[in-house]
Amino acid sequence: DRYAALVFAGGWLGPRWNEAIGLRVCDLNPLRHEITIGRVVVNQNGGTTFTEAMSKTEDARTIPAPDPVMTMLTEHIARYLPDAGREDFLFTTTRGTHPLRSNFSRDVLQAAAERAGLNGRKLTWLTLRHTAASLMFDAGLTIFEVQQRLGHKTPTMTAEVYTHLMRERFDEGRQRLENYMREMRSLRDS
């Protein structure tokens, strides 16, 4: 339950793990429905944890957050961080430390998969990132929009990673083009 907002944001927004646990209260802009991703938290096998100023691509990006995601994040703050300051991290353990990626996959994602009846399915943070990309493409976002939201340096990188998703839309695009051509012929013949 403590990590429901983290999982929800991961599955809809697709941040990298280190970006997600690097989110702070000040990175949310509920009025504009935006999240700024820029800081990352690196946790070295439970040892030293440190924060870097920029993400993997060495820049910050502001992405739009759908209303249900923003609502879940603000409710998370109200429930788990009622006295949080602007610089406080959104997602920490009950002890106030950053969750470890491997423990999170085992203890949170696998348990959620079992509760959802997905026994035997191996879920990881990367699964959530890929789910977010799939949902973005299914919603009709362009490759450039998906690239910006996922923080890839180029649309080529996005295309290389998610070619299989784009292939699924291949026939859909062909059908839209055929429909358009039919409509144009119909207008011309009228």
Residue the block writes with tokens 């998906």 = 146
27-67 pLDDT, tens digit per residue, is 999 999 999 998 777 765 555 555 555 555 567 899 999 99
Q: Is the pTM of this model over 0.95?
A: no
**How far apart are the C-alpha atoms of 81 and 156, rounded to whole Å?**
39
| Nearest in space to 60 (alpha carbons), one of 89, 87, 79, 37 | 37
Q: How confident is the model at residue 118, as a pLDDT?
A: 84
> Where is pLDDT greater, at 7 or 56?
7
**How far apart are the C-alpha atoms of 74 and 72, rounded to whole Å?**
6
Q: How confident is the model at residue 81, as a pLDDT?
A: 94
**How far apart are the C-alpha atoms of 180 and 87, rounded to whole Å?**
51
114-145 pLDDT, tens digit per residue, is 888 887 788 889 999 999 998 998 888 888 99
Sheet with 28-29, edge to edge strand ranges:
28-29, 34-37, 61-64
What end-to-end distance do the CA atoms of the chain give, in Å?
60
